[in-house]
């Protein structure tokens, strides 16, 4: 049986095995206790959103019960995207938020993600405090007359769309009457994204458009999972295809020929749009393609690199007043909308880029310097990851002077011909390797070297 995975990015488990109603109540009490200590005398308000998984309703009820037991007021947002939940937490001036989602994991899984008042995930120290309350079970429970109440809030989609459109040239995009195919994988993005595209004047072909949580294909928006979408784009002669993950924070793009162009291009094209208008700083994690560095540099800007984890990127963006940021996994962040990855922001930026330049997706992609990026992974129990990282570090420290080693997140080695990164997943017992170079053979060799050293 897979254990309940508790990490600084949240909690993930298999429903009916390690994550059920009882765990949800305990996590609700733990988070409520944390917020009560954080907020002094003020009674905290907490927004709860969930993706479309059938287990979400059960977990939301348990979580709300736990929070109310500690005196928190609960706002149930229902089925909303992760950025939508973060945005409403800020919009309603709540003290915290919870999103119930296992993102791109299969339907058996669900998860709990805790958000600060501004919608960003908690830093490691505060996440650990919540975990300590969960393990200690010393909850700050209220007496009968002082437990919290729960109410429903149905404005999330409308507020989300209005906020995105505030920073979008709606007339320009609408005038182009783009034809777009949208695959929402029956996830939380279904209604809100279709509405956004209509407001942008698009002719929308929507597949997997009901938020049933019954995922029509493996949910991670990668090439092998999106073959159907490419075919639909081709059949309808659409300008672009959009694929979301179940909680709609990530976005992958299909060009007008039906070709999957890779999640790295989502942030690259969004950055291309932003840097056409102004210069400044961007933020991206250490696993994100060098394309964003080239795009920023061509506008006289620069890129701040952070460890993986969107909270690191979001905090760097706020600290350095970045004009764009995100992750190479299709996560685009515009902090003016909400300081978390938001597929709706990505859609709006890419459509504006197409409208302003009058170019197709494939033409825009061709303008960006091309790299070959290879991502792979291998099974590795969490207790062994430190030893594997150590052996890799030891090897490259001895290897040579033209290697730059960054150990802020796993280990990243930058050489003259490319870079490779090895890091442990926060949510699964695996290690991920990624390499990027101008030529594919070089990227392959970088991966093979790491596997050799790690003995896999």
Q: Which residues of this protein are in contact with Mg ion, per CB under 5 A?
A: 103, 245, 247, 249-250
* Residue closer to Mg ion (CB basis): 246 or 301: 246
Q: How far apart are CA 99 and CA 103, in angstroms?
A: 10
| DSSP label at residue 216 | S
* Residue closer to Mg ion (CB basis): 250 or 305: 250
CB of 114 to Mg ion, least distance (A): 15
67 CB neighbour count, 10 Å cutoff: 30
* Residue closer to Mg ion (CB basis): 249 or 256: 249
Query: Where on the phi/psi map is residue 81: left (φ > 0), alpha (ψ -120 to 50), or beta?
Result: beta
Cβ-Cβ contacts under 8 Å for 299 (sequence gap 6 or more): 275, 276, 278, 279
Any catalytic annotation for residue 103? yes
CB of 74 to Mg ion, least distance (A): 23
* Residue closer to Mg ion (CB basis): 65 or 248: 248
* Residue closer to Mg ion (CB basis): 183 or 249: 249
Q: How far apart are CA 173 and CA 420, in angstroms?
A: 38
* Rg (the chain; Cα; Å): 22
CB of 129 to Mg ion, least distance (A): 25
Say if residue 146 is exposed, middle or buried (CB neighbours under 10 Å; 0-12, 13-18, 19+).
Answer: exposed
CB of 68 to Mg ion, least distance (A): 27
Q: How far apart are CA 334 and CA 349, in angstroms?
A: 10
DSSP assignment of 372-415, as one string? EEEEEEEE--GGGHHHHHHHHHHHHHHH-TT-EEE-SSSEEEEE
Q: Which residue is nearest to Mg ion (CB)?
A: 103
Q: What share of the chain is helix, strand, coil (3-state, %, to 5)?
A: 40, 25, 35
CB of 251 to Mg ion, least distance (A): 10
**Which residue in the list 7, 52, 55, 103 is annotated as catalytic?**
103
**Catalytic residue numbers?**
103
């Amino acid at each position: 049986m897979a254990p309940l995975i508790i990490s600084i990015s949240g909690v993930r488990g298999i429903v009916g095995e390690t994550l059920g109603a009882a765990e949800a109540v305990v996590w609700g009490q733990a988070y409520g206790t944390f917020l009560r200590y954080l907020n002094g005398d003020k009674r905290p308000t907490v927004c709860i959103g969930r993706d479309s998984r059938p287990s979400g309703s059960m977990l939301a009820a348990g979580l709300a019960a736990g929070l109310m037991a500690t005196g928190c007021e609960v706002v149930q947002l229902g089925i909303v995207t992760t950025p939508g939940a973060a945005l409403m937490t800020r919009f309603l001036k709540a003290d915290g938020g919870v999103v119930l989602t296992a993102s791109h994991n299969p339907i058996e899984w669900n998860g709990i993600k805790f958000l600060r008042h501004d919608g960003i995930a908690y830093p490691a120290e505060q996440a650990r405090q919540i975990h300590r309350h969960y393990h200690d079970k010393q909850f700050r429970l209220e007496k009968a007359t002082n437990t919290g109440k729960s109410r429903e809030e149905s404005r999330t989609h409308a507020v989300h769309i209005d906020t995105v459109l505030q920073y979008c040239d709606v007339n320009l995009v609408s005038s182009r009457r783009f034809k777009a195919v949208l695959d929402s994988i029956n996830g939380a993005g279904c209604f809100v994204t279709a509405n956004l595209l209509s407001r942008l004047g698009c002719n929308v072909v929507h597949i997997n458009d009901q938020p049933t949580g019954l995922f029509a294909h493996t949910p991670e928006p990668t090439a092998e999972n999106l073959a159907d979408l490419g075919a639909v784009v081709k059949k309808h002669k659409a300008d672009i295809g959009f694929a979301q993950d179940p909680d709609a924070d990530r976005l992958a793009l299909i060009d007008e020929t039906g070709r999957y162009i890779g999640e790295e291009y989502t942030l690259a094209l969004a950055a291309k749009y932003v840097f056409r208008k102004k210069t400044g700083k961007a933020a991206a994690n250490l696993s994100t393609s060098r394309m964003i560095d080239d795009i920023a540099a061509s506008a006289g800007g620069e890129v701040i690199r952070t460890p993986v984890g969107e909270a690191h990127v979001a905090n760097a963006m706020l600290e350095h007043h970045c004009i764009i940021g995100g992750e190479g996994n299709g996560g685009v962040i515009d902090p003016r909308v909400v300081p978390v990855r938001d597929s709706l922001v990505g859609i709006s930026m890419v459509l504006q880029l197409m409208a302003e330049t009058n170019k197709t997706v494939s033409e825009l992609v061709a303008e960006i310097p091309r790299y070959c990026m290879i991502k792979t992974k291998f099974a590795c129990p969490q207790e062994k990851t430190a030893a594997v990282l150590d052996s890799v570090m030891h090897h490259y420290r001895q290897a040579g002077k033209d290697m730059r080693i960054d150990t802020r997140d796993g280990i990243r080695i930058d050489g003259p011909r490319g870079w490779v990164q090895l890091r442990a997943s926060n949510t699964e017992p695996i290690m991920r390797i990624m390499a990027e170079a101008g030529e594919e053979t070089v990227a392959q060799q970088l991966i093979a070297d790491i596997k050799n050293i790690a003995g896999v």
